[in-house]
Amino acid sequence: MEETRSTTVRDVARAAGVSPGTVSKAINGTGSISPATRARVLATAEELDYRPNDLARSVFERRSFTVGMITTDSFGRFSVPVMLGAEDALGAGRISVFLCDSRDDPIRERHYIDVLQRRRVDGFIVTGRSSNPRPPLEVPRGMPVVYAHAPSTEPHATSVLIDDVRTGELATEHLIDTGRRRIAAITGPERFLAAHQRVRGHLAALAAAGLEPVRSPLGGEWTEQWGRHATHLLLREHPDIDGIMCGSDLIARGVMDSLRELGRSVPDDVAVVGIDNWELIADGARPSLTSVDTNLQELGRTAAQRLLEAIDGRPRRGAEHIAPRLVIRESTELG
């Protein structure tokens, strides 16, 4: 096993017959240097397959051009799009991203913070499964942190969030626009802020249109099973329902399955709209499911943007909400 040491500035300098300082200038385009030597240095660098050592540079610059991304959501339903968006925005700015999965374990989180601190990351992005507030990341003051999707309990922290109220509003407005009047909501567990706020938007939209909800919203689980179950409950009480807003696409699938079973046609008898726009689920459904996209990828990109600004010394405090967007499919098409 030959121990190969990668080529250094010195090597290039020696080969090109100049000093290390000159090589540095040639490569970074700093200082003043004659075009001739510049060209010669670059040529030899190329020839020797020289690759600058960014670690050494970082020691000098006192920053690493890296950030830590900490996710508490192993399964990735929500974090993954956020992380991809963030990585995309950061990568474009030549910043690299450390991936850390804390699995919702404070010990592991602490560990990652320590490790990344030693690596001198320029900042952190924190993301998680639930949009419920979480305790702040314990980093030294002055270290930039942006919360993506899961806000901090600390109100002054920088957070980029889903506009859950607006998703419920959009979904419900769309039902109304397609002529539905006897509308109900089936959503997730009460303890989830998201469930709550989506319902708030739902009720606001109904009120704005001068409609009464057919029934108080049904809260249960974020599952197909619950969607199926709730639909049975709902139709038993209100057989004349003509529109259902679901708190998630998975719930919506369950709802549509039960509707079919109960002999209701979607969208002719009942229109159904979901939230999440999880394409695989929405496209695979029968009929395909109209859904509100929460734009998680854009959320991630925005979070990255905010982190860059904070690193740059101009932090934007407080919460910011990403606008959702309606994606129309068959489940609400006008008859």
Partner DNA sequence: CTGAAAGCGCTAACAA
Partner DNA sequence: TTGTTAGCGCTTTCAG
Angstrom CA distances, 5 to 10, 16, 19, 50, 259, stand at 12, 19, 20, 11, 68
Q: Which residue has the tokens 């924190």?
A: 126
Stretch 11-30 residues interacting with DNA (CB under 7 A): 17-25, 27-28, 30
CA 330 to chain centre: 27
Q: Name the residue among 94, 93, 99 with its Cα closest to residue 68.
A: 99
32, 107, 118, 210: which one binds a copy of itself (CB under 8 A): 118
117 touches, from DNA, a copy of itself, none (C-beta below 5 to 8 Å by class): a copy of itself
29, 36, 263, 280: which one binds a copy of itself (CB under 8 A): 280
Nearest-approach distance from CB 284 to a copy of itself, in angstroms = 4
Angstrom CA distances, 10 to 33, 36, 45, 144, 296, stand at 18, 19, 11, 36, 47
* DSSP state string for 159-206: EEEE-HHHHHHHHHHHHHHTT--SEEEEES-TT-HHHHHHHHHHHHHH
CA atoms within 13 A on the CB side of 274: 31
Binding status of residue 323 toward a copy of itself by CB under 8 A? no
82, 97, 157, 246: which one binds a copy of itself (CB under 8 A): 97
Count, residues in the chain: 335
Nearer to DNA, 21 or 135 (CB): 21
Q: Which range binds a copy of itself by CB under 8 A, 66-74, 128-136, 168-176, 181-189?
A: 66-74
Residues that bind a copy of itself (CB under 8 A): 1-2, 4-6, 49, 51-56, 58-59, 62, 64, 66, 69, 74, 76, 80, 83-84, 87-88, 91, 94, 96-101, 112, 114-120, 140, 142, 223-225, 228, 250, 253-254, 257, 280, 283-284, 286, 313
Residues in the site for DNA, rule: CB under 7 A?
5-6, 8-10, 17-25, 27-28, 30-34, 36-38, 52-53, 56-57, 59-60, 62
